[in-house]
Chains A and B, each alone.
Chain A
């Protein structure tokens, strides 16, 4: 039996593990429960509803256009046009000095609002 590779759970994640009935285009084995009508896994199926944000250069281009549009909408060209290099320089990846602040991309850590 090939186990279904879909991620399940909310606060505690795991693998589905049911018997797979199809293979998603990403190569993942999927059970009948987790396959959508096109035979896609939840990850590929979920991504379909949105523009693909993971193409190269997406973040920068989309961000700029969004902030330009929003600054136009609210009539404030300064507030929402983003931060300049001096603003950003204080938030570059930190070192030991920035305890708790050296947010690395792997951790996906927002870096605040800890309880």
Chain B
């Protein structure tokens, strides 16, 4: 991607020594936005270092180990069936430690995405490699939303673990300025924080999905409470007079996670106008986004989105598809799009305002189309994955030029 030769070449005789590693407590590949991000970041790392080790979560039918001859890329997947999340995270940490240990001598850089990946990497005995800690979200903040029974004291312990790892990372990469500010508030020195925005690529023209409704709003992403799907359903109920309009929800997580939202849709009387699709391949999601009248990102005004920050790929990918976006006007969202230029920004958690903004765009299709075009142009010029990867390449080059880094 950078047009430069990688630092090592894969040996045709067998796997090369591991000079780069990327660890994420997340399944890869998967239909989630995080997997797209992992794929891009890890691909850049491995391109720069002539391959490397990708350690991620597995499960399902994914192989525990994968090695692609010629690419130098090894993939290791943690697939232990441990129901309790903390137990699983700790076991994963130990698994990462076991996978780093054989390569401590040869590793030139380690890239991690969460504290359970980071802990064994920053504390590996004999560590000489720099560590890039990519913070897309903080479990100490997010787990409080997804696990309501988690005690504040427990989340505080997880925050201590995050701080321990952040303190020892050589570079902390954030996809949003809001996350960078949150980390500075937590004591991470500003000079160690690098802003590397999320990206999207303008997709090739694809035919409209065969089963797509004539006119529809679209939501693409996971279903955690902070995504604001409940707000969107309530807003959609206020658009009942638009009888031909459908709401398409492209869930990146399995159907059973949608039970509560489906019950809410039934209670609101909109279930028969909501079209659900689950875990579609990324390319199919792009076709659904492109065919929509409006894409909606109704993020709530919660601590996860406001204090911690986020960088929703759904907004960038909708803009890349040329679809106008109606989103919550949170600081992190304003980094990606502007009100009245690429779509409309509304106050979070306000179904009536959300419904009104959607209705206005539906009533002025020419203006909406122009917003979509401006969004596509902005992604092409400012948020292409190539730019994100070039920025990462610069960071890798910078930190690996100082050998023997330890913190």
Contacts and interface: CB of A to CB of B under 8 A. Distances in A.
Contacts of A103: 85, 88
A102 B84 CA distance: 10
16 contacts: A10-B68, A10-B73, A11-B29, A59-B94, A60-B91, A83-B90, A97-B260, A99-B225, A101-B143, A105-B88, A107-B254, A108-B62, A111-B146, A112-B137, A113-B26, A115-B313
B150 A91 contact: yes
Interface stretch (B34-42, B210-218, B341-349, B363-371): B34-42
Interface of B: 14, 24-27, 29-30, 32-37, 39, 43, 57-60, 62-69, 71, 73-88, 90-91, 93-95, 97-99, 102, 113-114, 119-120, 123, 125, 136-137, 139, 142-143, 146-151, 153-154, 157, 160-161, 164, 175, 198, 221-225, 227, 252-254, 257, 259-261, 281-282, 310-314
Chain A: interface size category: 35 or more
Given A107-B60, A110-B25, A91 B85 contact: yes
Contacts of B64: 43, 46-47, 54
Interface in A23-65: 33-34, 36-37, 42-47, 49-51, 53-54, 58-60, 62-63
A90 B149 contact: yes
A114 B94 contact: no
A10 B54 CA distance: 10
Contacts of A46: 64-67, 74-76
Contacts of B151: 86-87, 90
B146 A112 contact: yes
Given A87-B153, A99-B224, A108-B77, 13 more contacts: A10-B68, A73-B123, A90-B154, A91-B147, A91-B149, A91-B150, A93-B84, A94-B147, A98-B147, A108-B59, A108-B78, A115-B33, A115-B310
Contact of B37 (A37, A79, A115): A115
Contacts of B78: 53, 108
A2 interface: no
A12 interface: yes
Given A43-B64, A83-B154, A86-B151, A113 B80 contact: no
B136 A42 contact: no
A45 to B, nearest CB: 6
Given A43-B64, A73-B123, A101-B147, A107 B59 contact: yes
Interface of A: 7-13, 33-34, 36-37, 42-47, 49-51, 53-54, 58-60, 62-63, 66-67, 70, 73-74, 79-80, 82-83, 86-94, 96-115
Contact of A59 (B91, B119, B142, B282): B91
Interface of B is mostly: mixed
Contact of A43 (B25, B65, B69, B261): B65
B279 to A, nearest CB: 10
B123 A74 contact: yes
B69 A34 contact: yes
Interface of A is mostly: loop
Given A83-B154, A88-B86, A108-B27, A37 B57 contact: no
Contacts of A104: 83
A54 B253 CA distance: 27
Contacts of B142: 111-113
B25 A79 contact: no
B146 A66 contact: no
B135 to A, nearest CB: 9
A96 B97 contact: no
B137 to A, nearest CB: 4
A105 B282 CA distance: 23
Nearest to B311: A115
Contacts of B149: 89-91, 98
B93 A50 contact: no
Nearest to A115: B33
A99 B146 contact: yes
A100 B146 contact: yes
A90 B76 CA distance: 29
Contacts of B77: 108
Contacts of A93: 83-84
A112 B99 CA distance: 23
Given A53-B95, A114-B221, A105 B59 contact: yes
Contacts of A79: 157, 160-161, 164
A63 B78 CA distance: 14
B189 to A, nearest CB: 21
Contacts of B94: 59, 62-63, 66-67
A8 B68 contact: yes
A43 B63 contact: yes
B59 A115 contact: no
A92 B79 contact: no
